Amino acid sequence: VSGSYTPAPGGPFSALTPSMWPQDILAKYHQKDPSVESELMYDEFGFRMDSEDGEEPRSWLGSEGSPQREDPQQRLRWQAHLEFTHNHAVGDLTWELIAPVLPRSERLRSLVLGGIPHSMRPQLWMRLSGALQKKRASEISYREIIKNSSNDDTTTAKQIEKDLLRTMPSNACFSNLTSVGVPRLRRVLRGLAWLYPDIGYCQGTGMVVSCLLLFLEEEDVLWMMCSLIEDLLPPSYFSSTLLGVQTDQRVLRQLIVQYLPALDRLLQEHDIELSLITLHWFLTSFASVVDIRLLLRIWDLLFYQGSLVLFQVTLGMLKIKEEELVSSENSASIFNTLSDLPSQLRDGPAVLGEAMRLAGTLSQETLEAHRHKHLAYILNEQAQLNNGNNGTLNANLNKVVRRQSLRRKSTLSSLLFGEDEAEALKSKNIKQTELVAALREAIARTAEHFHCLDPHHSSTDLTPDYSMESHQRDHENFLVVSRNRRRRAKALLDFERHDDDELGFRKNDIITIISQKDEHCWVGELNGLRGWFPAKFVEILDERSKEYSLAGDDSVTEAVTDLARGTLCPALKAIFQHGLKKPSILGGPCHPWLFIEEAASREVERDFNSVYSRLVLSPSVCPGQAVQSVNMSHDTAHAQMDVKFRSLVCVGLNEQVLHLWLEVLCSSMAAVEKWYHPWSFLRSPGWVQIKCELRVLSKFAFSLSQDCELPDKKESCPVLKSEVVDVLVQHHLFSWDL
């Protein structure tokens, strides 16, 4: 077919981007080919309109007017807003002069909620989603991406090829291999699989990409998908584990309890698993389930507000059909109504209006808090299913790998303003998932060490408790332990008993300290015997009445030091470093230790009037005294802050309160806000998940030296030979300073 044909206004294919106009079909329309008119009718989006039983051709896409019939007033409002926000521009305002990212405002949100004029959608979607910024900032071009992903022999390429004609078979642009949209769909999907190798290809992305291709050029579609994957949706939405979308189904179910209690009772009564229906809605961002005109309105909001819109729209649609659902007679009727629900709703303003009335107050912060909680539940269930197969679990946690940004800041910019925090912000969800995975692996390795060396710990449950009640039990258990506190000590050498009131022991015996007789002597109990002994001959193990374990004693088992300081501490430090405000040449030093010092000191100064205050100010639960102790011993040795951090973690392990210390530090909001960005781990609800993970370590008894990384102190007095010491001790001819 020669020449180029243009669709009639409001006619078939008129709503598509010009490069997607199927010229072969348009040529037949222009030539008045009767075979086209009698066999196939298409709407303005390129979908076939079927006529059945002699009825007039009717589109499954609804009866709402063409999106090209724009409201002149709405278009003028958008033009006025763009001109107002770009009043510095000289001459006529063109898209080239409009910023790649539009500044957020209530006015802009109101305009988006009212709908974007269809002719302006390609340009505005790119700016609202951040895709245009990604496109301009990338140092790898779309052409290079396509070239690198053009291998036909990969497993992913073969999977994509199988699905090309299944994605949107009712649309003329994707109905056969020669259709104009099919090669574009192939290139974009392959490009995404190359950019995100650990995601590869997901059928959900195919539906989203094909819908986007109807309205945007293929290069812009790829960057729109990058924005969806990296910014607008949580991590693992399209990964093989579907961890992100699974989590959102749990969150949706909880929100239904809050916003639609009658529907919640109905679902429980009939034992209906809603996620069997709604998971596909979320996975395709409604692309495969709603009227195309309604989809455009939903996507207007999605590209501006992110995944929050998926929940609001779903709740709104369920609310509209709530009465019909509640009046259903049986489970099959309810299930069918829910399955057909999206395709029955075609009035965009009505759906969005109900969504905002019902769940307009739902905030991103609340959503993230729910996500962290339910993600923890899912990880817990996976851990149980894997029976401790941590390698499998951690592999699943890391299924999302971000596109590596090739754009680098200038040296001057880095010096003046620190590292590029925009990239860190965009990858925060993925990074947090990786940090949790690393911490869980470190805890698992530590637990394995105890399992191997100490039979007492062979049956210790490693499943974190994520319930809300667990946090209350933390404080109750500590109060009980504090009231019944006993101190334990390990004998440093043999001490023979000569008098009835003495307590004899052997090296490494564990003695329960009952009282302090005087400055140099303690009263203790061992194997049912009580008596006094020299305080210098023992070493205090802990203050919390835990059971001693050789596996956790670094003087007996050196491997535990490597696990604590070489594996666990780096994983914890990475969490404390996430979102820490970066230093610059204009600012001071920056290290997690500085935050810990300030937060701990702030907690020490808290009001003593409340029970919680008295609890956190206890020597074991408040890290303040431990921080001071570490500083005193380490400053004299000029130790670095990394060493101090590791030593403090070891003290927390010894006291079995590392998880409580984290809670205390994160509760110091003034310090947290001073040192951390809003998107950081410690400033988000995600720290509660970390606390639950660390609580597992309180089941193990550590006896780690606080000063093991410090240089040995020089002896200030002559050292007696061990044989002489033994004789002196045996006959009680020792000095208290021996």
Instruction: Determine how many CB atoms are found less than 10 A away from the CB of residue 461.
Output: 9
Bigger pLDDT: 61 or 723?
A: 723
pLDDT band of residue 581 (cuts 50, 70, 90) is confident
Q: Which domain holds residue 574?
A: 569-698
What's the CATH code of the domain at 501? 2.30.30.40
Q: Say whether both 587 and 665 belong to one domain.
A: yes
pLDDT score, position 547: 67
User: pLDDT class for 1, splitting at 50, 70, 90?
Assistant: very low
Residues 538 and 575 in one domain: no
Instruction: List, as one string, the DSSP characters of 45-58.
Output: TSBEEB--TTPPPB
How many domains does the chain contain in total?
Answer: 3
For residue 84, how far is the Cα from the chain centroid? 37
Query: Residue 408 falls within a domain, yes or no?
Result: yes
653: nearest Cα among 553, 577, 556: 553
Same-domain status, 354 and 278:
yes
Show which of 415, 445, 466 is a domain's final residue. 415
In a domain, 165, yes or no: no
Asked if residue 727 is part of any domain, the answer here is no
402, 331: one domain:
yes
**683 occurs within a structural domain:** yes
Residue 608 CB partners (closer than 8 Å, separation 6+): 614, 617
Q: What pairs with residue 512 in β-bridges?
A: 488, 525
β 521-526/510-516 pair status: antiparallel
Residues 6+ positions from 616 with CB-CB distance below 8 Å = 603, 606, 622, 664, 667
User: pLDDT for 456-478, tens place per residue?
Assistant: 777 777 777 777 677 767 766 65
Q: What is the model's pLDDT at position 730?
A: 56
**Residue 208 resides in a domain:** no
Residue 432, domain member (yes or no): no
Full-model pTM: 0.59
* Tally of CB atoms within 10 A around 59: 17
Asked if residue 574 and residue 536 are part of one domain, the reply reads no
**How do beta strands 521-526 and 41-42 pair?**
unpaired
Asked if residue 585 and residue 510 are part of one domain, the reply reads no
300 shares a domain with 369 = yes
Query: Both 396 and 281 in a single domain?
Result: yes
| CA dist., res. 725 & res. 301, Å (int) | 80
Cβ atoms of residues 710 and 637 within 8 Å = yes
Flag the least confident range among 359-363, 429-433, 459-463.
429-433
CB 130 within 8 A of CB 231: yes
**Backbone dihedral region for residue 450 (phi beyond 0: left; psi -120 to 50: alpha; all else: beta):** alpha
Nearest to 514 by CA among 504, 500, 529, 495: 529
Assess whether pLDDT exceeds 50 at residue 60.
no
Dig out the tokens for 296 from the structure.
């455009």
The C-alpha atoms of residue 214 and residue 615 are separated, in whole angstroms, by 61
> Which residue among 415, 437, 456 closes a domain?
415
**Sign of the torsion formed by the C-alpha atoms of 294, 299, 300 and 306:** positive
Instruction: Read off the CATH number of the domain in which 371 is found.
Output: 1.10.472.80
| 660 is a domain residue | yes
Is the domain of 305 the same as that of 395?
Answer: yes
Could you tell me if 300 and 411 lie in one domain? yes
Position 467, amino acid: S
In 3D, which of 289, 273, 394 has the Cα closest to residue 334? 273
Whether 599 and 522 share a structural domain: no
The predicted-structure confidence for 669-725, as pLDDT tens digits, reads as follows 888 988 998 888 888 777 888 888 899 998 888 989 888 888 875 544 445 555 555
Pair 305, 403 in one domain: yes
Q: Residue type at 139?
A: E
Q: What is the pLDDT of residue 576?
A: 93
- Decide if 178 is inside a domain: no
Query: What number of CA atoms fall less than 13 Å from residue 78's CA on the CB side?
Result: 22
Domain stops at, among 361, 396, 415: 415
Distance CA 390, CA 393 (A): 5
